[in-house]
Structures are given as C-alpha cells and as structure tokens.
C-alpha cells in the first residue's frame, strides 16, 4: 500500500554499514550494526506493530576477512488488540559490490526466556537458508513476509551478515560499499481494511482550522463551516486536504474545506468513529447539516458534547448510530438552540449509559422527542437533562431511575412544557441532589410524582418546585405520601412563588415565611387538621382514610 500510512510505517530498526579496505591478499571489510546510542533498547511503534531493537550501541567487526560476520538481534511485538501481520525489509539499500554473491545473510527466529516481562514469546516466521544480500539500490527488499502475530506476543530474530569466502581472489570488491536499513511495517493486504477517524477533540480542532486562517482566533473559524459531507471522490492537491485518520486506521482519511463545506473522504465507504468521540462536531455556530450516514459508532464509548452548541442545525439524523457501548452522553445535544428534530434508529441503545447530564439542555426549538426506547437503568446523573428544552409534552414513564443520584435542575426552565408524565415508578430513592428540579415548568397544571418519589436521601431540595411570580400554572402536585426531608437538608424556597397551588383539601399558597418555612407544606393536605400543598394520589376513600389519622 504505497501511501502516507506506509511511509509512516517504514521504521529504522538497525543500521548496517559494510565497507571494504585494501589488503595484500584479501578484501577485508568493516561492518557496523547500529541501534540507538542513547538507550539500552529502542522501541518504535507503527500501528499495531512495535519493532524492538533488543541490543544497543555499535557492533563492530574491523579488518575482517571472508567468513567473518556481524549480527544484530531485533524483535517484533503486537501492541494492538487484534491479530495482525507484518513484513520486515532491508530498505534504503546501497550495494556497490562488484560481485553481489560475496555478501550473504541469514535471519532466524530465537527465544530469550525471562528477558521480556509481560510479553509472550513465540516463534517467528524466519529460519532461512543463506541468501545473497539484496542489491536493489535505493529501494526495499523483503526479508520476512506476511508473518502473523497476536496481541501481546513477542517474536525475536537474529540477522547475520557474512562476507563469504568463495575460494577465489575477491579484490574486485575493494573499496565497495553496502548499507541498508532494517524496517518493519504492518501488512494489511490480507486483512480487512478499516478507516478510523481521529478522536473527537482532535477532529473538531482540525476541521475548524481548515475553515480559517490559522493566524486568527480559532473561535472564529467555525463561523465559516455550514455543512459537513462525505465525499466519494478523493481530493486533489489543489484542495489543500489534511489527514484526519486515527491510530487504529489502515486507510487514509482526508478532509478539506471548500465554499462553506467540510468534505471528508476515505476509500472505504464506512468510517469508524473512535472510542472517544466527545465534542466531535461541537461549537460550529453556523453548521446546518452533518452527513452521519457513513459513520460506524459501534466502538464509541464517549459522546460527550458531540453536537454541543451547534446553534444553526435544525435536524440531527442518528438512525444509523449504534450506541450499545456508549457510557457517557453528557451534553450530546446541549445548546443546539434551533434543532427541531432528532431522529433515533433501532440501534440507538442507551443500556450502558451512566451519564445523561444536560443531554437536551437549551434545545429551545425542540418540541417533541420519543424517549420510549431510552434504557436508563445504569444512569446515575440526569442533572440539567431537559433544562430549558422546548419540549411541550415530556413522557418519562419508561425511565428506570433507580440508580440516579443527581436530578439537579433536571426538568427546570421548560417554558413550553404543558404536560409531564413521570409514571408511577419514577424512583428517586438514591437521589441526593434535587436542587430546583421542577423550577419554572411554566404551563404544567398538574404534576403527579408517582409511587416511588422520595426525598429521604436528598441533601439539597432548595427551590424544588420554585416558580416565577405570575408565570406559574402549577395548581396540583399529587403524591401517595408526605415528602420527608433529611434534618440537615438544604430546603429553602421549596415552593417559592407557586402562587396558584392548592392542596387536595383546599389549602392555598401562603406568602408568610415562604422562603424559609415553605418546605413544611410538602405534605398531603388534610385541610385545617394538617395543611399542606400536596394532593393524595389515591382514591377519595383512601384520601379520607389517610387524613383520619390527624383527627
């Protein structure tokens, strides 16, 4: 594969120099095998393969005669997570020998027990007979072909270069020279070709810089980006493309900017997103469209802020996204102020997600979203999840919130919502933070807390039902029990300015000491016997039975 990737993979492992000097009867030579002079071992990585020079310094054989030799030990390790295949080459060859047959080499596999902790030593692929040293000047010559190696394995080799005695006068090689580099590369011709793009933050930076003058402030670059599209045609040199592939790729990925559009090209139709795809397309103020149809997200674990603050985009199509391995979706759509539609496919799986903090925060134009397929059984944070969203009808009846610990501002400042369905099993038994949880749910008239709503673990319930004065419609809050706060919980302004609220037995909002004592009304209203702002959620008969304990 003669492309940029291969050029990166041609790695110097050892430097061999053989030169002839004058002698009375033999052609003598000096042979150097050189590693890294500054360390005991040299390790150079290329994709999934690491070439390990097991010895260091210079091995020198001076004023030698035919039959003498020099040798060098080197190793190959697989530092990746999948089985791969490699080649070893002699490259950058210089061979001025008059008789090429005078210089020969052997390469054989060896083991050195106990020397390489953490690696499994296995036999390599070379145990060759004697061969003439390659003489393709300036090119490369393969000395180990298509050798398979598994993750964590080490294969050691000894390369021996010998000045061979052919039984004749060899003075025709006086003053001649041989030099070569020992190189390794991953060999993908027999393996599946994959294109993996760079990490989210790196791609975000590179795409934004493509769209502006690097001398100016990077915050201004994104204003030029209006679209991100997949290109089926490779760029030309005039397109001034850059490479945006990640470390696990076997195929080049190129990106360039033209007339407001970022184009992304790969010879593979599918581009894999990396494990950390956080902030990949975030902060592009004038972005209106992203073509996501060619991306495979099956390896992604983090989608934090993936589209955050893309203020101009109106639709996000995730129908081909496989999110089965994603654990963190914090703020994935946060700040997409003009997004009206978010489309989820059947593979949008949230069963492993632990963090849904701010997922839909500040999505002002979003009126509806289907959450029925969201699996929230592992989620621990829903803080700010729907804060300042434009959703008009919020149905969370399918949510499993049994492991959630933070619901801070979760359903706050929703200026459009008129209906909230928590369902009967909205479980808050582990929640420790309910600060301003239902603040400013402007058009909701009735809020049913269900059967598993509890504040017993909450350290902060401040402003939990707080509303803006003269802008609240919240009349009824239903519960099947009193809300019993912790003795040391922060509980100021729990019902602050819920001016139209009425308890189930007629208790109306009280302005006296509402900031400090309002929490005392977080009980089932039993009228003058025991006033409160909550309405019992059971039947009328059950309500009477509940209040009878206060007779």
Global pTM value:
0.68
Q: Which of 81, 89, 79, 83 minimizes the C-alpha distance to 13?
A: 89
pLDDT on residue 175: 60
Tokens of 177: 């020279």
Q: What is the pLDDT of residues 481-535, one digit of tens each?
A: 999 999 999 999 999 999 999 999 999 998 866 777 889 999 999 999 999 999 9
CA dihedral defined by 129, 131, 134, 140, rounded to 10 degrees? -10
What is residue 516's DSSP assignment? H
pLDDT tens, per residue, the chain with 551 residues: 222 222 222 233 333 433 333 222 222 233 333 333 333 344 444 455 554 444 433 444 445 567 778 777 778 887 766 677 888 877 667 677 677 788 888 999 998 876 667 788 899 888 778 888 877 655 557 888 888 888 888 888 888 888 788 888 777 766 666 666 667 765 444 446 689 999 999 999 999 888 875 545 545 555 789 999 999 999 998 999 998 988 767 788 999 999 999 999 999 999 999 999 999 999 999 999 999 999 999 999 999 999 999 999 999 999 999 999 999 999 999 999 999 999 999 999 999 999 999 999 999 999 999 999 999 999 999 999 999 999 999 999 999 999 999 999 999 999 999 999 999 999 999 999 999 999 999 999 999 999 999 999 999 999 999 998 677 899 999 999 999 999 999 999 999 999 999 999 999 998 866 777 889 999 999 999 999 999 999 999 999 999 999 98
For residue 540, give the DSSP letter: H
pLDDT of amino acid 60: 47
How far apart are the C-alpha atoms of 354 and 333, rounded to whole Å?
16
pLDDT in tens, 70-112: 777 778 887 766 677 888 877 667 677 677 788 888 999 998 8
pLDDT per position as a tens digit, 160-212 = 888 788 888 777 766 666 666 667 765 444 446 689 999 999 999 999 888 87
Which helix (H) or strand (E) segment holds residue 73: the answer is: strand 69-78
| Residue pair 466/494 in contact by the 8 Å Cβ criterion | yes
Task: Tell me if residue 145 falls in helix, strand or coil.
Answer: strand
* Nearest of 259, 264, 263 to residue 224 by alpha carbon: 259
Residue 222: what pLDDT?
A: 56
Cα–Cα distance measured from residue 374 to residue 348, given in angstroms and rounded to the nearest whole number: 8
DSSP states of 177-227:
EEEEEEEEEE--TTS---EEBPPHHHHHHHHHHHTS-TTS-GGGGGGG--E
Q: What pLDDT shows up at residue 217?
A: 52
User: Do 249 and 194 form a contact (C-beta atoms < 8 A)?
Assistant: yes
Residue 421: half-sphere exposure toward Cβ, Cα within 13 Å: 11
204-220 per-residue burial string, b: 16 or more CB within 10 A, e: under 16: beebbebbbeeeeeeee
SS3 171: helix
Structure token pair of residue 439: 């603040």
Q: Supply the mean pLDDT for the chain.
A: 83
């Amino acid at each position: 594969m003669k492309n940029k990737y291969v050029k990166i993979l041609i790695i110097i492992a050892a430097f061999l120099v053989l030169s002839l000097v004058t002698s009375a009867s033999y052609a003598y030579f000096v042979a150097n095998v050189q590693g890294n002079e500054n360390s005991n071992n040299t390790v150079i990585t290329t994709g999934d393969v690491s070439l390990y020079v097991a010895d260091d310094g210079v091995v020198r054989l001076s004023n030698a005669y035919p039959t003498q030799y020099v040798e060098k030990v080197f190793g190959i390790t697989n530092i990746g997570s999948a089985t791969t295949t490699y080649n070893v080459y002699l490259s950058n060859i210089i061979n001025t020998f008059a008789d090429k047959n005078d210089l020969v080499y052997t390469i054989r596999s060896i083991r050195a027990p106990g020397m390489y902790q953490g690696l499994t030593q296995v036999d390599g692929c070379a145990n060759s007979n004697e061969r003439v040293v390659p003489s393709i000047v300036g090119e490369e010559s393969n000395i180990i072909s298509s050798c398979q190696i598994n993750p964590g394995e080490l294969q050691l080799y000894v390369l021996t270069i010998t000045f061979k005695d052919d039984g004749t006068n060899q003075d025709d090689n006086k003053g001649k020279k041989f030099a070569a580099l020992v190189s390794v590369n991953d060999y993908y011709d027999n393996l599946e070709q994959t294109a993996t793009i760079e990490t989210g933050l790196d791609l975000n930076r590179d795409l934004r810089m493509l769209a502006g003058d690097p001398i100016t402030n990077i915050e201004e670059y994104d204003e030029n980006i209006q679209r991100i599209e997949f290109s089926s045609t490779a760029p030309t040199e005039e397109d001034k493309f850059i490479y945006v592939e990640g470390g696990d790729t076997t195929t080049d990925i190129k990106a360039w900017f033209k007339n407001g559009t970022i184009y992304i090209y790969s010879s593979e139709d599918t581009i894999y997103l990396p494990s950390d795809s956080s902030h990949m397309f975030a902060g592009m103020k004038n972005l209106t469209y992203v073509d996501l149809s060619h991306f495979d997200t099956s390896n992604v674990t983090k989608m934090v802020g993936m589209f955050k603050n893309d203020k101009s985009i109106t639709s996000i199509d995730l129908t081909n996204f496989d999110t089965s391995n994603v654990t963190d979706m914090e703020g994935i759509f946060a700040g997409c102020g003009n997004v009206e539609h978010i489309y989820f496919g059947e593979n949008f799986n949230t069963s492993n997600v632990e963090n849904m903090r701010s997922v839909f925060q500040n999505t002002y134009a979003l009126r509806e979203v289907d959450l029925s397929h969201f699996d929230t059984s592992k989620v621990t944070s829903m803080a700010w999840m729907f804060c300042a969203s434009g959703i008009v009808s919020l149905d969370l009846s399918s949510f499993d919130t049994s492991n959630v610990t933070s619901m801070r501002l979760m359903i706050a400042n929703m200026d459009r919502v008129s209906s909230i369905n928590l369902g009967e099993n909205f479980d808050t038994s582990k929640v420790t933070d309910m600060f301003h949880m239902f603040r400013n749910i402007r058009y909701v008239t009735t809020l049913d807390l269900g059967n598993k709503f509890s504040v017993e673990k909450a350290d902060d319930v401040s402003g939990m039902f707080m509303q803006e004065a003269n802008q609240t419609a919240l009349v009824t809050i239903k519960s099947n029990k009193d809300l019993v706060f912790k003795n040391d919980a922060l509980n100021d302004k729990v019902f602050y300015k819920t001016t139209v609220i009425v308890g189930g037995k007629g208790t109306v909002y009280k302005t006296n000491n509402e900031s400090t004592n309002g929490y005392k009304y977080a009980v089932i209203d039993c009228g003058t016997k025991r006033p409160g702002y909550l309405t019992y959620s059971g039947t009328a008969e059950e309500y009477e039975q509940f209040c009878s304990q206060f007779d």
